[in-house]
Structure formats: C-alpha cells, structure tokens
Structure 1
Amino acid sequence: MLQFLQCWRERGWSTIDASAYAEVWQRYGGSVATHPEVVERLARLADIPVRYLAWEHQGELVAAVPCWGRHLALSKDVLKKIGKRGLFDLGNAEIILPVAEQVGVPVRQRMRYVSELNAGAISTLREQPEGLALAREPEQYSKKFRYNQRREQRLLEEAGGVLRPMLDFSPAEQAAMYADLFQRRWSFEAPGKAHLHEVFELLRDFMTGSVVFLDKQPIAIQVLYRVEAPKWVSIEYINGGVDPQQRDFSPGSVLSFVNTQTAWAEARALGKPLRYSFGRADREYKDRWCNRVPVFQV
C-alpha cells in the first residue's frame, strides 16, 4: 500500500541527486527553506535522508522538490512524528519551490505556506485561509511612521545603544543571547533551545541582521536567514527576543526598522526585489511592517 501511494505521488516525476537539485534551484530560484544547502544541512542534523524529485519537459528539468516521504523536506510534521519536534526552527517559512513559470506541474507532497510565486507553476495548490506577512517597501511606510522609527533609533543611540552585526558573534554567543532574550520576552523557552548552537553554526552562511546593545548588554535580537535567488532575495524572520525592561527605548521596533531598511538597500543594490517574510500574518505588529499576501498549500 505504501509503495502504491509513493508511486501515485511521484508519477511523472523522476529521482535526481542533490547536485542536480541545486542546479535546478540556481536556475529557477527558491526560498530559505528550499535552498539546497539549508535542506542538506538541516536534514543531516535530523538524520533523515532527502529524496529529490524532478519534472522533465522537452529534455529539460523544469521543477524539483526535496522530499521527506509524503512531505516537503524539513517538515515539522515529520520531525514531530519521529520524536524530534523542535530540533530546529524555521517558523512558518515562505516556501518557494524551484519551478519554471507557468509549467503547471502536479506537486503532491504535503506543504504549507507555498508562495504566490509558485501559484501559476504548480497545478495542485489551493489557497490557505491564513496570509503571509511580507515586509513593505520603504516608500510604502508613511512619513510619520518613518519619522517615528528614526526618532526611536536616535533616542536609543543617544542613551548609549548600539547595533552590532549578528555575525560579529560566534554561534554559541548568538544562541545564548537569543535564548535569554526570547525567554525574557515570551516567558517560555525558545523553540529548539537545546540545539540552537548547532543550528546557528550550520546556518551561519545564511545569517544576517543586527543585535541591539545597551550598556554592553544585548537587549534585542532577531534570527534572520537570507538567500539570493536569480530573480529575488529571500529573507526569513524566524523569531526574536527583547528585554521587556528596556521597552521605553522600543529596541525591537528599532531593530525591525534597521534590519528591513538594510535588507531593502542591499537587494536594490543587486537590482532584485526582496521577499522579507515575517511568517504567518497572525499578529497585529506584523501589520505595521508588512503587507498580507496570499499563500497556498498542497
């Protein structure tokens, strides 16, 4: 029965290796959660082999999918099923599969938060009730909003606050700061706390953003992963932490402003649009920073 279901899911698809998948991704693009190295490194951490599938059209590979059985690779459901829930945290990451435009391939692996970029290319998608929160372009914020953000940043800096690049710190230092500030902000442990050091080390090549310090102590941090595709830049804002005792300085807001503004500037310097995802559009603060866009599922 299981063999029959696999044959049904994969009919029309052929097996490829990791290097062929990487070539398809580099040709058609993708997101953080489908990037070849992110998939390989986190799958190795989970000790779950990845099965790569491709769709061929007129002798050319026009789509590829990394799979864990009937699910997209790195699926939370698979980790939960095998007792490794919370091994790593990718939030509700935007899924962009490497698929040529308008090919209409039937992807049958289970996945959620599939990007609108894939909507015309994958025939099996249906829209989710939830939307995805993507950071607005700088010009889409009101003048008052931008003025207030710059004012908050200036007040923080006048009080001695500084922003330092996330990559100034080792994975162990990043993990310690993030775990502490997350616990302070939410009053429960950060997802995957036991493996943060290891995950941050594995994904260091993709980390971006800054950390806010005041009196030489970290007071706000965000976990951001960035990949560059041929036609866009993709950033995932996984989660963050902030010291609530410093809320008078709005360090979380300052950090969001600096991180998003920097990301837009870098993407525009490359001549590429930016897809800066705050994950599921489920909190009021995200509406301040983001536009809600449709997402899909299989």
Structure 2
Amino acid sequence: MPAPTYEFTAQKRLRRTRSRAVSNLPVFSVSSLKPHEIDPVYMTLVCPTCRTWVPINKPDTLRPKLSPHHTEKAGTEDPVRCPGSHRLVVIDVDVERWYQRLEEGLPQTDGRRSTRVIRKPKAGSAPAVMQIVGVTVDDKTARKLDEAHVQGCSTCSVRDNKGQTLRAVEVASRCADGRRLAQLAAHTKRLAPARRKAQMDREDWNDRREWGLRLLHEQQWDTVSRPVGDADLQRVRDALAALIKTLNPTKADAPQLTAWERADLMSAITLLATQEEQLSR
C-alpha cells in the first residue's frame, strides 16, 4: 500500500491590516472635524495631516486608528507614507447629530457663496441739441435755431442800452453752443442745393414706382378680368334660379310660403336681377 503524500505549501490568505504600530501624533476626536469632512456611515474621514479621505481601521474596538495611507496618488513610484497613518482617533459622533449639523451648515454655506455681480452700464453724457438735430434739420430750420440762440444769449450777441439785440458777434467770440449752431447753419446752407436735388430725385423715383405698380396691376387685372366676370355672373344666375325655384316650387306637396317669406324672396330676386344686369354689360 503506497504511503500518502502531504502538501506543505502555505495557503494564500486575504491581506488585512494587523499592524500594532501607533502614530506619534496625539489622539484627536472625530467631532473636531467639520461636518463635511467625516462620513460616519462608511467610517471614513479627512486626514488632518494630508487632507485626504482615509478609512478608520477597527472602528468598533477600543483603539480605532487611521489606516496607513500615502500622500501621493495611487500608482506613484516611491510613495511617501503620511505621518498620520495609524493615528488613534476617538469616535464621538452620532449619525443623527452629524446629519443635523450638515443640514444646518448648508444654508450658511450657500449664504457665504458670492453671487455674480452684473455691472450696471454707465450712462454717457447726453449730446447737445444741435448734435441731435444736425442730421435732420434743413437750412431754414438751422438758421432759425441760430437766430433764436443769438436772441437769448448775451455772449453771442451785441445789445444796446435797452437790451435789444443789434447783431451777432463773430463766430470765434461765441459760446460753445453758439459756435455749433453757426457751423450747423453754414453747413446746411452749403448742402441745401444737393439736399433739395436728392429729395426731388427721391420723390420722382417714388412717383415712377407707384405709376409702374399701378400699370402692372392693371395689366394683371386685364388678363383675369373676363374669367372673374364670367364666374361672378354665373354665381348670380345660379342664386337667382334657386330663389325662383323656391318661389315657384314644381312639386304639389311642397310647403307653402307665407306672405313675409314671399316678400323677402321677391326683394332678393330683385337685387340679384339688378346685379345680373350690371354684370352683363
């Protein structure tokens, strides 16, 4: 009988943190952290040393501590272990109390968030009257505006002892508004012939355009006037025949019309007969 063989290879075990090492840093309580830096449901928190999320090892024992972790991202060559690894913690946070603190902190956080500031556009200085009407006025209006300004401005006019205006001073001696009005009057006077010619050309073009549209409308109507007239005449004749048939029914058992209904039919027949006569001309 052959002897039994035995395998002395060790079985692969699940890796678990069984280290007895304790960090030299002092013990800290979980309640000292902010509500958004702890999750008591999954027993994780933000490490006070490296500010990364770390699970709590053995939270149900008497000496819970932070799991060993690195300060760099996963996969980094030669990572450096955080000094907060194996740091003892005191779990003194209730889940309901934690939820209450988190809900109370949300409105305060929302209130501290800065809203977008929409700058109000600055209003520019209003232009002068002569700058507004400089494009729309003609030479006569510009001259009247200049004369009215000279009458009311003591700087732009020469007056006698009684305060009557004798004449206007030179353009260089006038005020700012007076100089603008004088320049406007001179500019419109210089451009008056060209402006009148342009206005006359524009009016002539508008008249020709209206005459062309009217001629086009007449030509288009001439092509369809006969079929339209025939259709109108046939419609009136059909309505007249229907009313005459209603007035003189062919069937013996047809309902008899009253005097008022017969009078209405006679007025309608007369009107349709007049329309037929007009369309037949």
Q: If the length of structure 2 is used for normalisation, what is the TM-score?
A: 0.16
Larger radius of gyration: 2
> Bigger relative contact order, structure 1 or 2, given CA contacts below 8 A and separation 6+?
1
Q: Which has the higher strand share?
A: 1
Q: Which has the higher helix share?
A: 2
